[in-house]
Amino acid sequence: MSEATTVPDVRLEEVVKEFGDVRAVDGISLEVPRGSFFALLGPSGCGKTTTLRMIGGFEEATSGRIFLGDRDVVGLPPYKRDVNTVFQSYALFPHMTVADNVAFGLHRKGIAKGEARSRVAEILELVDLGGRENRKPRQLSGGQQQRVALARAIVCNPRVLLLDEPLGALDLKLRKQMQLELKRIQNEVGITFVHVTHDQEEAMTMADTIAVMNNGRIEQLGTPAELYERPRTAFVAGFLGKSNLLDGTIAGDGLVRLADGSELRVHTNGTSGPVSVGVRPEKISLANGGVNRLTGRVKESAYIGVATELVVATTVGELTVFHQNVEAGGVAPGIGSDVTLSWAPEATFVVDPGDRADRADRGEEQAI
Ligand code: ATP
């Protein structure tokens, strides 16, 4: 690989941002590889927008360094950075046509009219707006306006595109459709996207890499599958999908002992002492085939179409189980039934018990 392709498009080193006595961003370091789709994911107030705004130059870091490629951009105004931003409010010029909105940046850069026209046509095809060049923004739907904003941001071919909750104003169905569209567009243009969202499903659908943020820090950074299958903290386990977390203690290599003395085989990651041991609801089967087993009684049952969501009370706490409705007419065990729950050691993870309090504080305690 050549030197140029190994330099990340965005690099943050120990970046801090304070607003008075609020530490919005508390020492973030990360790298965004060239051409990738990167998501900053976290709850409201975790510092993701501030991080994005510092990359764009709309906010100055209190300390730390920010690089775009190998250029240190701290102190540079937004227009001197090779980035463009798409905001939730599309900020289109209402009196201009779609084509003129998209061409705006090209004209400012002094690109010749003929070339600008063909670039605009090409980019409007890409965002599926061919034939709508002469409409005004108010003659378009919300989703179409967002595509114009996207086209306008990528037409000048920036090194990095920053997206600040760009789908937030769209209804759920359109948002899901646009998630796949955005991913396709990013693939086609190959520009690095840095996307801010509080929606875990959105981040998982689109991003190659996700940085999960909490209280101004990165809790964990990885691919969607890594974060989901191997969360390293209770916060990550609870923020991406549902998790069951049980109190236990490491009792040996790959072994956790629960409060009632029963043992579970796990990936211990070299941890020792007290832990929370986790398993996802869909990894639990209502049969005794798996190595890890608990018995309990069904306390709640909710039919949700693809699955029946059961809450099973065991001696070590309540577990949520998704019983897949695989067979037509298949029935899940009813309330009051005694069941054996089992799952594989590979589906079992351990996290530090220390951050369980934090999870409960936020009212996000799940199945225990
Ligand atoms: P949201 O999803 O709600 O936008 P966020 O994760 O993007 O949240 P930020 O907007 O980055 O969070 O805000 C992080 C923290 O910094 C919050 O506590 C916020 O109140 C504070 N903050 C952000 N901007 C300012 C500002 N200009 N002045 C003072 N405090 C600010």
Distance 143 CA to ligand 1 centre (A): 26
Which residue CA neighbors atom 10 of ligand 1 most closely?
Answer: 49
Mark 344-362 as b/e (b = at least 16 C-beta within 10 Å): eeebbbbbebebbeebeee
Q: What is the DSSP letter of 347?
A: G
Q: What is the mean pLDDT of residues 89-98?
A: 87
Distance 205 CA to ligand 1 centre (A): 25
- pLDDT tier for residue 296 given thresholds of 50, 70 and 90: very high
The residues of the chain that CATH labels 3.40.50.300 are 3-226
In order of 78, 102, 288, 305, 311, the CA distances from 107 in angstroms are 18, 10, 68, 52, 60
pLDDT at 5: 59
Residue 357 has pLDDT above 70, yes or no: no
Distance 51 CA to ligand 1 centre (A): 10
- In tens, the pLDDT along 101-128 reads 999 888 888 888 888 889 999 999 888 8
pTM: 0.87
CA–CA gap between residue 186 and residue 36 (Å, rounded): 8
- pLDDT tier for residue 368 given thresholds of 50, 70 and 90: very low
The residues of the chain that CATH labels 2.40.50.100 are 242-353
CA–CA gap between residue 229 and residue 349 (Å, rounded): 8
Q: What is the DSSP letter of 34?
A: T
What lies within 8 Å, CB to CB, of 155 at 6+ separation is 102, 103, 105, 106, 119, 120, 123
Q: What is the mean pLDDT of residues 254-282?
A: 89
Residue 15 near residue 24 (C-beta atoms within 8 A): no
- In tens, the pLDDT along 180-222 reads 988 999 999 899 999 999 999 999 999 999 999 999 999 999 9
pLDDT at 181: 87
CA–centroid distance for 59 within its chain: 23
- In tens, the pLDDT along 218-235 reads 999 999 999 999 999 999
pLDDT at 35: 93
- pLDDT tier for residue 3 given thresholds of 50, 70 and 90: very low
Residue-by-residue DSSP string for 100-122:
HHHHHHHHHTT--HHHHHHHHHH
What lies within 8 Å, CB to CB, of 201 at 6+ separation is none
pLDDT above 90 as % of the chain: 67
Mark 2-32 as b/e (b = at least 16 C-beta within 10 Å): eeeeebbbbbbbebbbeeeeebbbbbbebbb
pLDDT at 305: 87
Residue 37 has pLDDT above 90, yes or no: yes
H or E stretch at 308: strand 307-314
Specify the ligand 1 atom closest to the Cα of 216.
Answer: 14
Ligand 1 pocket, Cβ-based, cut-off 6 angstroms = 19, 22, 24, 42, 44-50, 198
CA–CA gap between residue 100 and residue 295 (Å, rounded): 66
What lies within 8 Å, CB to CB, of 96 at 6+ separation is 104, 136, 137
Distance 214 CA to ligand 1 centre (A): 12
CATH architecture of 242-353: Beta Barrel (2.40)
Distance 53 CA to ligand 1 centre (A): 11
Domain 3-226 class in CATH: alpha beta
- pLDDT tier for residue 253 given thresholds of 50, 70 and 90: confident
pLDDT at 366: 39
- pLDDT tier for residue 328 given thresholds of 50, 70 and 90: confident
In order of 120, 208, 214, 310, the CA distances from 323 in angstroms are 50, 29, 31, 7
CA–CA gap between residue 11 and residue 70 (Å, rounded): 9
pLDDT at 215: 95
3-state secondary structure of 173: helix
Which residue CA neighbors atom 30 of ligand 1 most closely?
Answer: 19
Residue 326 near residue 308 (C-beta atoms within 8 A): no
**Mean pLDDT over all residues of the chain?**
89
Backbone CA torsion sign across 212, 217, 219, 221: positive
pLDDT at 306: 87
